[in-house]
Chains A and B, each alone.
Chain A
């Protein structure tokens, strides 16, 4: 049997997931000593871990070249979905929020607003839900700059502690939604390898509770 292939979002989610795997009792030596390798065996060769950027985790799982993936809810909302989202892993917690310079009345006035964000789809659907016409500008780096430079009225971004916002004179106006790491599964894999995947989901759910 081919090993189940799991795509992990490189960085913090990868470390948290590996810690979870170790609590379950999988041998993750290969991941700790990975060097530059991107496909690594874990456990008793039952699984293969693939390290990828967040949005790519979704792409690999959607196409079925990876059976499972660990990715933030933020990436899922931004990149759409045709896969199963089976488990909230409980780590990588933060939120999407709408933030504007302190003291501004964002919803006041009739002038149309400009929003800077790294997540145009999230921003678009948030304001569509409100029936509000806004201009969305995609920014790649530190989004907090945009309102400071006068490019936008507000931003939609990931907020963890809120300290970056504070230091730049911004404040949260409204929470858009909560974010945490999710376990996603390819639709066909879920059907073709139900037994193995069910077992793994069960193990991860348990490891989450004993955390």
Chain B
């Protein structure tokens, strides 16, 4: 018995007209930005082996992956992320290419969200990866492209910059095991001050404990870096701060100072990100529209160690923001409806092709009588109807 043939699975939807056009517009705009900076497009399979995402540090839980088995019973899943497939591809087919390698993609990722939350299980992401390069120049390049990509789509964004190394440096000073460290990290990520205090209260008083306590609140402008400096006990924490300061100053030179924030409490996926991390927010979207960072250890898990940095943008979220702000792309109207009298079908098709050649948008009428064609044109708001018979007559409303 067919029961579900008229609906789509929860978390998916059809994109129609304005939505579809705007979606494609965002995709194209981003692709233009990426390719104009020398990035090359790749498409990876929608299905991958589960093992690709099963690294210790991926930060993607198995419960959120759509999984199935292949013909030989091996576990495969629908791509939950694009960076790991790109790491796989770079470590294998591209391993002999000169570095750095610049890649971009526009493809869906799939996430098996809990039901009834209104979240999308299929999300279009567009992003870049700069592989085989480390250091300030590479980081600035990627950040500048992120900023350009955002500015082209949604000018009112906020981008925030953090550093995975700061948390790690402070955590290393605390007498804690990995489980407690992970608890602390989660509480900081959730800015759960109450729970964080409870864990830290058991660790006594020290500069590093105070730093952890303060960490979720360490976000804002440049002044945050100065405040954070008071908590540093060793060189590695200091270095992360002065590096952030360096990037911050460099980016303010782009004239977008008020768009940039520092958030030292950006500690998501700290086992995955090794260095700078960043995300961007836009009014009208309750979640980050862009996330990224440096992940220098990932390629090693594909036996081809190399530094890398990248980001992904949520094309769906940006599309929604544009449409909600009345900036969606409208479907172009048809200029001419071409009607043909009986026996002149091919003449009409050739005639329409000529009009299209002249740059007009031309629709073929399938109606038999001229009256029906006229009614249809009126209904669809098409202002001109050309009748193709012995002669060609044009009627403009």
- Give residues in A with beta carbon < 8 Å to B: 59, 62-65, 80-88, 182, 185-192, 194
Contact between B192 and A84, CB atoms less than 8 A apart: yes
**Residue B244 interfacial (CB < 8 Å):** no
Residue among B118, B192, B220, B261 with max Cβ neighbours from chain A (10 Å): B192
Distance to closest chain B CB from A85 (angstroms):
4
Known: A62-B286, A65-B286, A191-B160. A80 touches B191 (CB 8 A): no
Q: What residue of chain A has the Cβ atom nearest to residue B189's Cβ?
A: A84
Given the contacts A59-B117, A80-B114, A188 and B193 also touching, CB distance less than 8 Å: no
B90 to chain A, nearest CB (A): 30
| A64 and B289 alpha carbons, distance in the complex (Å) | 13
Minimum CB–CB distance from A135 to chain B (whole Å) comes to 20
**In this complex, what residue of B is CB-closest to A190?**
B191
A85 and B192 within 8 A (CB): yes
Contact B118–A84 (Cβ < 8 Å):
no
Given contacts A191-B263, A194-B219, contact A64 B190 (CB under 8 A): no
Contacts from B to A (Cβ < 8 Å) = 114, 117-118, 158, 160, 190-195, 216, 219-220, 261, 263, 281-283, 285-288
CB neighbours of A80 from chain B (8 A):
114
A87 in complex: contacting residue of B114, B194, B288, CB < 8 Å = B194
List 7 contacting pairs A-B, 8 Å CB cutoff, sorted by A. Answer: A64-B287, A81-B190, A187-B288, A188-B288, A191-B158, A191-B219, A191-B261
- Chain A: CB-nearest residue to B263: A191
Q: Which residues does chain A contribute within 8 Å of B285, judged by CB atoms?
A: 64, 188
CA distance A205 to B160 in the complex (A): 26
A86 touches B286 (CB 8 A): no
Most buried by B among A59, A82, A83, A191: A191
**Contacts of B190 on A, CB cut-off 8 Å?**
81, 83-85
**Does B286 lie within 8 Å of A182, measured CB to CB?**
no
Q: Are A187 and B287 in contact (CB under 8 A)?
A: yes
Q: Output the least CB separation between A128 and chain B (Å).
A: 13
Among A64, A85, A87, A88, the residue within 8 A (CB) of B286 is A64
Let me know if B193 and A192 touch, CB within 8 A.
Answer: no
Q: Is the CB of A185 within 8 A of B160?
A: no
In whole angstroms, how far apart are the Cα atoms of A81 and B190 in the complex?
A: 8
A209 smallest CB distance to B (angstroms):
14
Contact of A194 among B117, B220, B287, B288 (CB under 8 A): B220
Closest 8 CB pairs of A and B: A64-B286, A84-B191, A88-B194, A85-B192, A188-B281, A191-B281, A63-B286, A188-B286
Q: Which residues of A contact B195 (CB under 8 A)?
A: 85
Closest to B159 in A: A191
15 further interface pairs, Cβ-Cβ under 8 Å (given A59-B118, A187-B288): A59-B117, A63-B118, A64-B285, A65-B286, A83-B190, A84-B191, A84-B192, A85-B194, A87-B194, A189-B286, A191-B219, A191-B281, A192-B158, A194-B220, A194-B261
Please give, as numbers and ranges, the residues of chain A lying within 8 Å of B158 by CB-CB distance.
191-192
Distance A63 CA – B194 CA, assembled complex (angstroms): 23
The interface residues of chain A lying within 8 Å CB-to-CB of B160 are 191
Residue ID in chain B nearest A185 by CB atoms: B191
Q: How far is the CB of A194 from chain B (nearest CB, A)?
A: 6
Cα of A59 to Cα of B281 in the assembled complex, Å: 19
Min CB–CB distance B313 → chain A (angstroms): 15
CB-based contact A192/B220 at 8 Å: no
Q: How far is the CA of A86 from the CA of B216 in the complex (A)?
A: 9
Question: In the complex, which residue of chain A has the Cβ closest to the Cβ of B192?
Answer: A85
Q: Which residues of A contact B118 (CB under 8 A)?
A: 59, 63
Chain B residue numbers with a CB within 8 Å of A88 are 193-194
**Cβ–Cβ contact B220 & A87, under 8 A:** no
Partner of B281 from the list A62, A84, A86, A192 (CB cut-off 8 Å) is A192
Q: Chain A contacts of B282 at CB under 8 A?
A: 188, 192
Q: Which residues of B contact A87 (CB under 8 A)?
A: 193-194
Residues of A contacting B261 with CB < 8 Å?
191, 194
Residue of A nearest to B279 (CB): A191
- The chain A residue sitting closest to B116, CB to CB, is A59
- In the bound complex, residues from chain B placing their C-beta under 8 Å from that of A194 are 219-220, 261
Q: Which residues of B contact A65 (CB under 8 A)?
A: 286
Known A63-B118, A85-B191, A194-B220; contact A188-B287, beta-carbon cutoff 8 A: yes
Q: Which residues of B contact A189 (CB under 8 A)?
A: 286
Q: Which residue of A lies closest to B193 (CB)?
A: A86
Which residues of A are found within 8 Å of B194, using beta-carbon distances? 85, 87-88, 182
Closest residue of chain B to A84 (Cβ to Cβ) is: B191
CA separation between A190 and B220, bound complex, in Å? 10
* Central interface residue in B114, B190, B286, B288, by most chain A CB within 10 Å: B286
Q: Which residue of B lies closest to A180 (CB)?
A: B194
Chain B residue at smallest Cβ distance from A80: B114
A204 to B117, CA, bound (A): 29
**In the assembly, what is the distance between CA of A111 and CA of B195, in Å?**
35
Distance, CA A185 to CA B286, complexed state (A): 10
Q: Which residue of A lies closest to B289 (CB)?
A: A188
For the complex formed, measure the closest distance between the CB of A159 and the CB atoms of chain B, giving whole angstroms: 20
Minimal beta-carbon separation of A177 from chain B (angstroms): 10
Residue of A nearest to B197 (CB): A88
- Cα of A187 to Cα of B190 in the assembled complex, Å: 9
Query: Inside 8 A of B191's CB, which chain A residues have their CB?
Result: 84-86, 185, 190
Cβ contacts under 8 Å, A190 to chain B: 191
